Amino acid sequence: MSGGERRRREPLVVSREYVFLQDEGGGEAERSPELRLRIPEVLDSEYGMYVWPCAPVLAQYIWFHRASMTGKRVLEVGAGVSLPGIVAAKCGANVILSDSAVLPQCLENCFRSCAQNNLIEVPVIGLTWGEISPDLLALPPIDIILGSDVFYEPKDFEDVLVTVRFIMERNPSAEFWTTYQVRSANWSIESLLHKWHLRCLNIPLNTFNADGECLAGSKLPGRHSIQMMVITLKRSLTN
Ligand X SMILES: C[S@@+](CC[C@H](N)C(=O)[O-])C[C@H]1O[C@@H](n2cnc3c(N)ncnc32)[C@H](O)[C@@H]1O
Binding residues (CB under 6 A) for ligand X: these are 47-48, 51-52, 54-55, 78-81, 99-100, 103, 106, 128-129, 148-150, 152, 156
Closest approach of ligand X to the CB of residue 175, in Å: 17
Q: What is the 3-class SS of the chain, one letter each residue?
A: CCHHHHHHHCCCEEEEEEEECCCCCCCCCCCCCCEEEEEEEECCCCCCCCCCCHHHHHHHHHHHCHHHCCCCEEEECCCCCCHHHHHHHHCCCEEEEEECCCCHHHHHHHHHHHHHCCCCCCCEEECCCCCCCHHHHCCCCCCEEEEECCCCCHHHHHHHHHHHHHHHHHCCCCEEEEEEECCCCCCCCHHHHHHCCEEEEEECHHHHCCCCCEECCEEEECCCCEEEEEEEECCCCCC
Q: Minimum distance between the CB of residue 153 and ligand X, rounded to whole angstroms? A: 7
**Of 149 and 175, which has the nearer Cβ to ligand X?**
149
Residue number with CB closer to ligand X (99 or 175): 99
Rounded to the nearest whole angstrom, what is the least distance from the CB of residue 1 to ligand X in the complex?
Answer: 25
Closer CB to ligand X, residue 22 or residue 188?
Answer: 188
| Residue 39 Cβ vs ligand X, minimum distance, rounded to whole Å | 9
Nearest residue (CB) to ligand X, 40 versus 48 = 48
Burial of 237 (0-12, 13-18, 19+ CB in 10 A): exposed
Q: Whose Cβ is closer to ligand X: residue 54's or residue 168's?
A: 54
Closer of 54 and 119 to ligand X (Cβ): 54
Question: Minimal distance in Å, beta carbon 66 to ligand X?
Answer: 19
For residue 125, CA distances in Å to 58, 77, 106, 133, 148 come to 21, 10, 11, 11, 17
Closer residue to ligand X, CB minimum distance, 30 or 108: 108
CB 216 within 8 A of CB 20: yes
| Least distance to ligand X, CB of residue 230, Å | 17
Nearest-approach distance from CB 34 to ligand X, in angstroms: 22
